[in-house]
């Protein structure tokens, strides 16, 4: 198995440029620092020895030691005699911010260009953890939907949601040809903020059957919380409430999640 030093050197193309104007130790330090700050090298990872760094990046041990000393001075790593050097920086992923309008339009477009099978549409009491997220009292009810979306007969997404703020009676037929967000608007539910968490999860027996895959196969998991903003006690006070909890599982061979993000120059 390649060492961490080998992996980093391969990522950076092997050697550090000898003719660059900045000192070698600083370039090595910057490379290692970036790998720590972006989470490539996780908290608790044992760093390569000075000799390993020197051999992997074709620099002297003095250069490698200076780079490691700089990392230690910034409290990114901690050096222990006889135990090596370990990363002590805790990387925390920061959410990507994207325009809400564009994202919601993409969601509706996907809904209009796929077939949907509505498996559940009813008012029910959500599980306690979801009820807490939605700010519901015990035994309060919310709109519960379970849907499977397909293209050309191939299911690509399993959607399970709980929604508050819609009191009118709705049926499965309401959601067969109309995107959920459009129905929300028709009933006065305006989404002002969305958070999403994307991860991976193994397919359960139920999900495998509905998405036509094998049990244990990897699925893309997307958890979306949608919020609306309500007027608070004063004219300047606004309160945000979670009104929609959506858990989606996507078949990775039939679905891609793409984002087009631009740098904010303001």
Segment 65-94, tens digit of pLDDT? 999 999 999 999 999 888 899 999 987 766
pLDDT in tens, 189-230: 888 888 888 888 899 999 999 999 999 999 989 898 999 887
Instruction: Give the rounded percent of residues in the chain with a pLDDT score beyond 70.
Output: 78
More confident residue, 113 or 234: 113
Mention every residue, 6+ apart, whose C-beta is less than 8 A from residue 41. 4, 8, 32, 35, 47, 87
Which residue spans within the chain are E strands per DSSP? 77-80, 84-87, 115-124, 142-151, 154-163, 193-202, 218-231, 238-250
* pLDDT at residue 98 is higher than 60: no
- What are the tens digits of pLDDT across the range 161-182? 999 988 888 889 988 888 888 8
Q: Is 58 helix (H, G, I), strand (E, B) or coil?
A: coil
Beta strands in 152-217 (DSSP E): 154-163, 193-202
Q: Rounded to an integer, what distance in angstroms lies between the CA atom of residue 252 and that of residue 213? A: 10
- Write down the pLDDT at residue 11: 47
- Percent of the chain whose predicted confidence (pLDDT) is above 90: 34
177 DSSP 8-state letter? S
Residue in 143, 160, 152 with CA at minimum distance from that of residue 201 = 160
Residue 211 CA to residue 214 CA, distance in Å, equals 9
Whole-number Cα distances in Å, 34 to 38, 51, 90? 6, 21, 13
């Amino acid at each position: 198995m390649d060492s961490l030093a080998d992996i980093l050197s391969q990522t950076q193309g092997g050697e550090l440029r000898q003719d660059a104007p900045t000192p070698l130790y600083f370039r090595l330090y910057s490379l290692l620092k970036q790998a720590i700050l972006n989470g490539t090298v996780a908290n608790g990872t044992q760093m390569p020895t000075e000799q390993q760094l020197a051999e992997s990046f074709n620099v002297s041990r003095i250069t490698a030691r200076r780079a490691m000393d700089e990392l230690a001075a910034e409290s990114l790593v901690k050096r222990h005699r006889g135990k090596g050097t370990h990363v002590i920086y805790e990387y925390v992923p920061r959410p990507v911010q994207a325009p809400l309008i564009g994202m919601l339009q993409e969601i509706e477009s996907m809904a209009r260009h796929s077939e949907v099978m509505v498996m559940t549409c009813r008012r029910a009491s959500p599980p306690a953890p979801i009820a807490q997220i939605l700010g519901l009292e015990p035994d309060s009810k919310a709109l519960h939907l379970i849907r499977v979306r397909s293209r050309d007969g191939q299911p690509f997404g399993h959607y399970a949601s709980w929604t508050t703020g819609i009191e009118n009676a709705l049926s499965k037929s309401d959601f067969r040809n109309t995107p959920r967000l459009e129905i929300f608007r028709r009933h006065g539910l305006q989404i002002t903020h969305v958070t999403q968490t994307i991860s991976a999860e193994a397919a359960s027996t139920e999900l495998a059957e509905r998405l036509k895959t094998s049990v244990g196969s990897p699925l893309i998991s997307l958890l979306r919380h949608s919020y609306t903003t309500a007027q608070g006690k004063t004219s300047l006070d606004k309160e945000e409430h979670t009104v929609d909890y959506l858990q989606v599982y996507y078949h990775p061979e039939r679905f891609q999640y793409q984002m087009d993000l631009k740098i904010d120059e303001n």
